[in-house]
Structure 1
Amino acid sequence: MTEKMWTEEELDRAIGDQPEGPAFTAEARERALARMLAAEEKPRNRWLVAAAAVTLVAGSLIAVPALWSDDSGTTASAAETLRRAAAATTAQPRPSASQYQYVATHSWDLGSATTGTGKPLSVLFHNLNEVWIPTDRSAEWLERRAVLDRRWLVGSEELAASEGDGGLFAEDASTKERRGPCGDFPGMNPDLGGDPDWGRPCAERVGAWHEPNPRFLASLPTSPQALYDRLWTDSRDDAENALSNAGHVLASPEASRELRSALYEALLNLPGLRVVEAAANLDGRVGTALGVSGEKTRDDIIIDPGSGRYIGTRRVLLQPAEGVPAGTNISFSAVDSAVVEHAGDKPAK
């Protein structure tokens, strides 16, 4: 049976009472997009999308206009934004030998399924993932994951209980805590993704753009042109991949000021980069959105050029998918970090 998708107006009404400021992990974003686009070719009875069709900024679904021209070079406005960010970038606090790097990711994730009789179900889940990373990365890390809330868009608790939830509530709302050295937490599957670092001693792990550990960050040049050449080659000459890879490094609390500044300047060379929104709101923070477009989606990074602060990323559909209109934000990522004294500590607000 084909699943029902909801219009922008219906979703606006359903989520109008939601709080501002969703944020989404890179992993959830990539899974979401792959599943959405795959649905055009292969039907299925359940999909889980990180904020697919849902942008909870100001409590409504947002369609972001494309503001770029047809030429392939970086626009003057994008270049000026990047130059200002590069010049304004400052150093980030670094933990001492006994302290921890705290990283928190909030996300609103949309889960959809069907009951045993084919009735549609759709729920928004508010997730929080917190990680405490010791300065000695081979020591024990702490991770806490929790589902903080859920809001029904279609269906109800009673309907799911009586006819089955289709796997929608496979994970309960209690906080899950895991500990492990070097971020190797119990239950992680080393076969997923074929990560070449799996099984290596912590000090020998090389890292990657999507997993920028200190060794990987130290391997990156701080000359903007050399850094761009490395980024472009590693991204297989693909502008969307390059922007995504750059975003992981810009988001890393372990990336130096020099590296982040050089990366902003390196992105001046990225073909097709445009300012797509001058005042983009992500997680309550306002910055300038820079984007590159592919065949079906546009990837944006959002930065504050006045402070050099990297705010996050988002992905926008350029073509309709599963009834979601073109121009819809389908995912966000925003990560907050701080230095704390002990594992389990929260930064002062």
Structure 2
Amino acid sequence: MTEKMWTDDELDQAIADQPAGPAFSAAARERALARMLAAEAPRPGRKRWLVAAAAVTLVVGALVAVPPLWSDDSGPAASAAETLRRAAAATTAHTAPSEGQYRYVATHSWDVGSATTRTGKPLSALIHTLVEVWVPADRTGEWLERRSTLGSRWLVGSDELVAAEGDGGLFAGNPPVQERRGPCGDYPDVNEELGGDPDWGKPCTERAGSWYRPNPRFLTSLPTAPQALYDRLWADARNDAANALSHAATVLAAPDASPELRSALYQALQHLPDLRVTEETANLDGKAGTALGLARADAREDIIIDPATGRYIGTRWVLLRSGTGAWEGLEPGTEVSSSAVDFAVVDRAGDAPK
């Protein structure tokens, strides 16, 4: 797993929040990012990662409220509703693996890491990571996960500055490729004490799953009537629109979600307060779609979907105000985190789709 270092207090809290499982959960990712919004600047020579690279998506808990960034008219909300209606009508099924085959899930993530040089100058780089997971048709079988660090680019800083003053450990501990295997996605390095997941230790077929870990059993427990699904989503998100959007994103990113469920979820999201079209043509991992988002604290969370095909492309976080602390030097509009997901079916673990 790619090593990303936070401050000691942030790391302690992130570990306490983290449910047991094969990767950072959506909930832990969001909690970490929300905490970073108010983080102080890192000390010279210390690096800080705003989110776990190559995690799946995103906060349960109080966040600082910000004024709406859109006009009060119904235009943006109406556009969001129309986008969701089109996506719901166009949604089709993902190809399912046959016996002996594997579901291939590829998640490209771009996450900002920050540090300071020996003299205290801020550094921020966007790191690109690919996580590939091969899930057997029989989920109780052995899963394979491969994590690859693909590259980086400077947002604040330069190679010349690092050569002169060091990178504060920003790029330390990032092996190019790492693999791990385990039945039902239980990898050997998972610590059951990390979060008290109620599914820990249960047989694979008996795990209830959750919005943050949407396994087939959880997905089939969700209603497919749009109003009933919205009521369930809203209640489980504790009447918080941003949490509800994050819940929805993890289900939309689940390869086992049926077309009926994804269509119903798009219809349910039409009722979500303050959801707006934030970009008519948004590009993520080379794919174009419409971005719909909600503001929280100093950043906005967007989900990106292709309304013409009903395809969920991914999610991103966009800075709304000039960066401070760990985001010092970043301008409004900077994407500080994003992830794009894709699916395929292959015959062998380790094979990439053609």
TM-score for both structures, normalised by structure 1? 0.79
Partner residue, 1:11 = none
Relative to structure 1, the CA distance from residue 291 to residue 108 in structure 2 (aligned partners, 3 Å threshold; closer, same or farther) is closer
Instruction: Name which of 148, 157, 174 aligns with 1:154.
Output: 157
Q: Which amino acid aligns with 2:30?
A: E
Distance 1:217 1:172 in 2: 34
Residue pairs, 1:1-349, within 5 angstroms? 26=26, 30=30, 33-40=33-40, 44=43, 45-49=46-50, 68-70=70-72, 75-115=77-117, 118=120, 120-151=122-153, 154=157, 156=159, 165-322=167-324, 323=328, 324-348=330-354
Aligned-residue offset at 1:92: 1.2
Q: Deviations over 1:11-59 (max 9, x none)?
A: xxxxxxxxxxxxx99578536623532314x75532113599xxxxxxx
Aligned-residue offset at 1:158: 9.8
Q: Which amino acid aligns with 2:351?
A: D
Aligned-residue offset at 1:107: 2.3
Name the SS for the 2:37 alignment partner: helix
Distance 1:249 1:222 in 2: 13
Distance 1:51 1:142 in 2: 20
Q: Deviations over 1:146-203 (max 9, x none)?
A: 222344563549957x976543234243321111011111222333333222222211
Determine if contact 2:229/2:264 at 8 Å carries over to the other structure.
yes
Distance 1:158 1:331 in 2: 24
Determine if contact 1:222/1:259 at 8 Å carries over to the other structure.
yes
Distance 2:299 2:194 in 1: 25
Partner residue, 2:3 = none
Name the SS for the 2:336 alignment partner: strand
Determine if contact 1:145/1:175 at 8 Å carries over to the other structure.
yes
Q: Which amino acid aligns with 1:332?
A: S
Name the SS for the 1:315 alignment partner: strand
Relative to structure 1, the CA distance from residue 34 to residue 46 in structure 2 (aligned partners, 3 Å threshold; closer, same or farther) is farther
Distance 2:150 2:283 in 1: 23
Determine if contact 2:146/2:179 at 8 Å carries over to the other structure.
yes
Aligned-residue offset at 1:315: 1.8
Distance 2:152 2:218 in 1: 37
Partner residue, 2:12 = none
Partner residue, 1:59 = none
Distance 2:260 2:219 in 1: 11
Sequence identity (%):
67
Relative to structure 1, the CA distance from residue 28 to residue 333 in structure 2 (aligned partners, 3 Å threshold; closer, same or farther) is farther
How many residue pairs were aligned?
A: 310
Relative to structure 1, the CA distance from residue 150 to residue 270 in structure 2 (aligned partners, 3 Å threshold; closer, same or farther) is closer
Gaps of 5+ in 1: 1-23, 53-65
Relative to structure 1, the CA distance from residue 148 to residue 233 in structure 2 (aligned partners, 3 Å threshold; closer, same or farther) is same
Task: Please give the root-mean-square deviation of Cα atoms over the aligned residues, in Å.
Answer: 3.0
Relative to structure 1, the CA distance from residue 151 to residue 87 in structure 2 (aligned partners, 3 Å threshold; closer, same or farther) is closer
Distance 1:235 1:171 in 2: 36
Name the SS for the 2:270 alignment partner: helix
Q: Which amino acid aligns with 2:157?
A: V
TM-score for both structures, normalised by structure 2? 0.78
Relative to structure 1, the CA distance from residue 227 to residue 34 in structure 2 (aligned partners, 3 Å threshold; closer, same or farther) is same
